[in-house]
């Protein structure tokens, strides 16, 4: 990664992190409700019976209402667990399942761990992002877990990044290892990007 790209990413992440911290509790609750509705429509459209998602932290666009609804409707939901080697293990979401604070301060599920290969069997992936641009490039928070996961998948299901409306932007700084996504889900809409090979 060139210094210019690294600097641009750091600056944009700092701005987005600050904006998220200033989001009110009422706005977060409304966003989580909107995201649940958008994700459920996406599940119905794709016909997904199994998917991966993640336990949102308080500042992130909320995924928990959607996860709870998906479990209640009988979907199999895999949740990521970070490893020290940069890979993700997975655990099956369970109603009332416990959680712990992961390597980077994010909530992660307790439960039997499945290998990084387990995500290869899902019908749909829902992943976090700092921002997504209008070409479908995703910018994460700089640790590379999801870029590495997506880049290593032989057969990738549709992949949707969850962001606030203001985080769907014209352009994100990108490097060779950065992975595009199929679409973006915000509290008010789902955007599918034009490239068909994602």
Domains of the chain, with CATH numbers? 3-192 (3.40.50.10420)
197 pLDDT higher than 60: no
- In the chain, the percentage of residues whose pLDDT exceeds 90 is 81
Give the whole-angstrom CA distance, residue 93 versus residue 75: 10
Look at residue 195 and tell me whether its pLDDT is greater than 80.
no
Which has the higher per-residue pLDDT, 194 or 198? 194
pLDDT reported for residue 66: 97
Q: Which two tokens stand for residue 44?
A: 């119905």
What was the pLDDT predicted at 177? 83
CA dihedral sign, ordered 77, 78, 81, 86: negative
Mean pLDDT, residues 25-45 taken together:
96
pLDDT tens column, 57-104: 999 999 999 999 999 999 999 999 999 999 999 999 999 889 999 988
Average pLDDT over residues 164-184: 92
Q: What is the pTM of this model?
A: 0.93
């Amino acid at each position: 990664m060139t210094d210019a790209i690294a600097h641009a990413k750091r600056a944009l992440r700092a701005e987005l992190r600050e904006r998220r911290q200033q989001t009110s509790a009422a706005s977060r609750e409304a966003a989580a409700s909107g995201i649940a509705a958008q994700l459920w429509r996406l599940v119905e459209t794709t016909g997904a019976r199994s998917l991966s998602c993640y336990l949102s932290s308080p500042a992130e666009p909320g995924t928990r209402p959607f996860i709870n609804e998906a479990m209640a409707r009988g979907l199999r939901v895999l949740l990521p667990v970070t490893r020290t080697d940069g890979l993700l293990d997975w655990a099956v979401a369970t109603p009332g399942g416990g959680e712990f604070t992961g390597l980077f301060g994010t909530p992660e599920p307790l439960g039997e761990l499945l290998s990084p290969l387990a995500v290869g069997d899902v019908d749909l992936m829902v992943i976090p992002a700092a921002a997504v641009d209008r070409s479908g490039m995703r910018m994460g928070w700089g640790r590379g877990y999801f870029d590495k996961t997506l880049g290593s998948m032989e057969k990738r299901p549709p992949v949707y990044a969850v962001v606030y409306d203001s985080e769907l932007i014209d352009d994100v700084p990108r490097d060779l290892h950065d992975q595009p996504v199929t679409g973006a889900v915000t509290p008010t809409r789902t955007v599918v990007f034009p490239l068909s090979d994602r």
